[in-house]
Amino acid sequence: MNSYYKSLFKLPIYFLYLFKKVLVNRKEYADLPLYMQDGLISDHNCDFLCNDNDFLTAYNEALALNLHVKKDIHWRVHTLCWAASNALQLEGDFIEFGVNKGFCSKTIIEYIKFYNTTKTYFLVDTFSGLSEQVSTKEEIGEMKGLYTPCLEIVQRVFSKYENIKIIEGVVPNILDSINVEKIAFVHIDMNAVEPELAAANFCWDKLVKGGYIVLDDYGHRPHKKLKIALDIFAKKHSIKVLSLPTGQGMIIKN
């Protein structure tokens, strides 16, 4: 029996543990929510769900615009906001590869008030889902039905921000049109090996010391090949990817 099925047998024990800790000792933990979203169950402190008003306001504003198919990805987006807020203190611009309708980027922009900076935030996507030019049939099949043409939606949502640049096209074909010299923050979420590796390679030399790369698909089970490819990329640059329980991976350039 492999480790995946062994872990399934541990679930009842874990739920008994949660029952004791959260319900029996409810007075002690009454002010802390239990996190059960987006493939993650945790009783660790996630008070950003109730105490971080800036995050909740930004998240809910993006949610109200119907920019994402899943409503509950708070910890994943909170991780992005944390990295972006730190990257804001560094020299360099922001780039997101794989924007779809812009839920994550909209939340980040509002949370860190990116519109008050002199930086540029590049939003790069086909804005119509995975491209057959650079994605395998398997990768396209995994994402089937999740994406519809959305360029007009993104243009409307981000039209009020002067320092947001929307770039439509297929990575890596579109990379030469991105006029950026220094990068502080990168978010990669294209669900396919070839474009994600191309984006990482494009950004690496431009990424400033202490800059962040957040890999949305890194730890998700359907993207095992992508994880392997990104691990090879990281090893090539003498660095390791931090695997997060949200399914994301994170690189901080040293």
CATH architecture of 59-252: 3-Layer(aba) Sandwich (3.40)
Query: Tens-digit pLDDT profile for the chain (254 aa)?
Result: 566 656 666 667 666 666 655 555 555 655 677 788 998 888 788 989 989 999 999 999 999 999 986 779 999 999 999 999 999 999 999 999 999 999 999 999 999 999 999 999 999 999 999 999 999 999 999 888 889 999 999 999 999 999 999 999 999 999 999 999 999 999 999 999 999 999 999 999 999 999 999 999 999 988 999 999 999 999 999 999 999 999 999 999 99
Cα separation, 209 vs 212, whole angstroms: 9
Cα separation, 192 vs 170, whole angstroms: 12
pLDDT computed for residue 24 by the predictor: 54
Chain centroid, CA 250 distance in Å:
10
Cα separation, 249 vs 243, whole angstroms: 5
Spell out the domain ranges in the chain.
59-252
Alpha helices in 66-102 (DSSP H): 74-87
The SS3 of residue 166 is strand
Give me the amino acid identity at 208: V
Alpha helices in the chain (DSSP H): 3-18, 53-64, 74-87, 103-112, 137-142, 151-158, 193-204, 224-236
pLDDT computed for residue 11 by the predictor: 64
pLDDT computed for residue 21 by the predictor: 58
Q: How many CB atoms are closer than 10 A to CB 238? A: 7
DSSP at 44: S
Q: Are the beta carbons of 54 and 111 closer than 8 angstroms? A: yes
The end-to-end CA distance of the chain, in Å, is 40
Residues 6+ apart with CB under 8 A from 250: 79, 83, 212, 213, 214, 215, 241, 242, 244
Q: Are the beta carbons of 233 and 201 closer than 8 angstroms? A: yes
> Element (H or E) spanning 120, and its range?
none
Residues 6+ apart with CB under 8 A from 159: none
Task: Return left, alpha or beta for 91; rule: phi > 0 is left, psi -120 to 50 is alpha, else beta.
Answer: beta
- Bridge-based pairing of strands 183-188 and 93-97 is parallel
Peptide bond into 149 cis (omega under 30): no
Cα separation, 30 vs 125, whole angstroms: 42
Q: Are the beta carbons of 182 and 93 closer than 8 angstroms? A: yes
